[in-house]
Chains A and B, each alone.
Chain A
Amino acid sequence: MSNTYALQARGLVKRFGAITAVDNLDLQVEPGVTYGLLGPNASGKTTLIRLLMGILPPTRGQSTLLGRPVPDRVLRTRLGYMPQALALYEDLSVQENVSFYARLMGNYTPARVEEAVGLVDLSARAKSIVSTLSGGFKRRASLACALVHQPAVLFLDEPTVGIDPHLRVEFWNHFQRLNQQGVTIVVSTHIMDEAERCTRLGLLYQGRLIAEGTAKELRERAKADTMEQAFLAFSDESKAPP
């Protein structure tokens, strides 16, 4: 597999018993872009992210991250992950949560923690216990935990679920800034509007990558006005007998 991609997967399959969550999937993501995995619930987005990060072994297929075969424990210090669940210790403060993940990644300095907390605009609440924060603030704290060690590739699993439109815009602006700094982002979402903000998109349906391209390309190919219409057109096409 080529080293020019930040991320590359070939023939990935993941089965859970009789259910095929990811079905023979090929993928390439260039460095410094935001790659969106767009699909409805249970389309295999979370499983695919886990496979790409190497925290779940594939049933078949292989993938590389930053040119190294997955899984690679050393590589994990260069990956950031924001799972769909908040994944925070509710009885610790924001600062303590972020510090813990920084230490785990071997990249702890008080200044770096302060910077990560500042990036998500939580400096004023750094000492607050997480359980006392609102849902939006918890999401910010969760993002800070994923960013604190300055990863080269950031995996975000539905990062904007349950947050208000202002914070959603803030998050996406922040992702763009990270791209400018060379960070590759793989983000899953089922919100079609967010897809427009991704550099490239992969449409997932029933574990298969049914279409790929920029949002504009996908709309044009599907002859659709919106991403939602485009997605429906591609998913109908994938259901049709060959």
Chain B
Amino acid sequence: MNLPRISALALRIATQFRRDHRTLAMIIVAPMVILSLLAYLINLTPSSMQVGVVVEDASPVAQRLAQELRALPLFQTQTASRDRVEDLIRGGGLEAVIIIPQGYGLRSAGQSGPDLEVVVDGSRSRTAPAVLQGLARATARVAANQVGASLPQPQVTYVHAGPEYTTLDYFAPTFIAFFSFLFVYLLTAIGFLRERSQGTLERLTASPLTKAEMVLGYMVGFSIFALAQAAVILLFTVYVIGIHYQGNLLIVFLIVAVLSLGAVNMGIFLSTFAATELQAVQFIPMVITPQTLLAGIFWPIPDMHPIFQWLAHLLPLTYANFAMQEVMVKGKGLLDASVQADIGALLLFAAAQVALASFAMRRART
């Protein structure tokens, strides 16, 4: 292993990259824009819904329920009549109508009576769950009022994170890792492809540079920017977007560096299957997108089919996601066994990619 050769390669890559202002801007600005949009959209306050209430029962329970429904902050209620329900929804005036039928009050007296009826638009995914949630809240208030009690207000104690944590605080750590993974893969794949197409790989092959030195040179060259990118994104998410986090940020960098090692080699490996830069980009929907779906970022892995669970545990982004959550949300350190296991899995992935990249380099040479 010859350090001057590795540093020569890393220095060359860094010089080329530094000169490519557009790419440089892309790897810094694009994640910032995406994270800012995410922060805005995740914290979006849902707009109120136009809900019609038909009260056919004169009992105090029915009147009280109508009153609770009108008091819900998400509902903009208006009184309606049963014969106009469908017209009002089809005309776009209402998203849903709740009907309190004649005799509903008998149910509260322990007798049999008709149940509530709900008519929803159905063309929007949010309507039915939101109406049923609001209805459950209103009926619970009525029931509590009947027995002279109030709704329970449990005292919640957080072992990790806290009540101030929003959905973004759980997403942001994984996105920091994801952006590094994506850009390091993309830049290495295209960089190595160019190395082949412009003939410089042949000249490198004729030099004393070994395959291991080439892999390391590429890794160091691109990792400098991957870490710089991670630093900028991290500072941006912490200080500009204002996410909450715990744990040591140096461990976050370590996780990104190990993930980048795998991404560099994956880029070299996959680039040998691409003849053009466009083809290297086309690997993204095949290799990167499934990882974002299966890595447990949006949907919990235990809820998935066993085959997808098994697949998820083969993907580096899954372990990066676990590790980032452990460190940034739970505040765990390097001495924690789960963090060690996640970093170990990332190292294993990197080792497998180094083997594949070495094989690919031999294939590219002959």
Contacts and interface: CB of A to CB of B under 8 A. Distances in A.
B15 A81 contact: no
B123 interface: no
Interface in B1-26: 2, 4-5, 7-9, 11-12, 15-16, 19-20
B355 to A, nearest CB: 20
Interface string B333-366: 0000000000000000000000000000000011
A53 B2 CA distance: 21
A86 B206 CA distance: 14
B152 interface: no
Contact of A83 (B4, B5, B15, B202): B202
Interface string A72-86: 011011010101111
B198 A90 contact: yes
Contacts, number: 76
B203 A101 contact: yes
Contacts of A101: 203, 207
Interface in A65-105: 73-74, 76-77, 79, 81, 83-92, 96, 100-101, 103-105
Contacts of A79: 206
B282 interface: no
Given A55-B205, A91-B20, A105-B208, A96 B15 contact: yes
B207 A105 contact: yes
Contact of B5 (A57, A88, A91, A103): A103
B91 interface: no
A145 interface: yes
A169 interface: no
A83 B7 CA distance: 24
A56 interface: yes
A108 to B, nearest CB: 8
Given A86-B198, A89-B16, A90-B198, A76 B366 contact: no
Contact of A87 (B2, B11, B20, B200): B200
B284 interface: no
Interface of A: 53, 55-57, 73-74, 76-77, 79, 81, 83-92, 96, 100-101, 103-106, 108, 145, 155
Interface of B: 2, 4-5, 7-9, 11-12, 15-16, 19-20, 198-200, 202-210, 365-366
The 3 closest A-B pairs by CB, nearest first: A85-B199, A103-B8, A87-B199
14 contacts: A55-B205, A56-B365, A73-B208, A81-B202, A83-B199, A85-B202, A86-B199, A89-B198, A90-B198, A92-B19, A100-B11, A104-B5, A104-B208, A155-B206
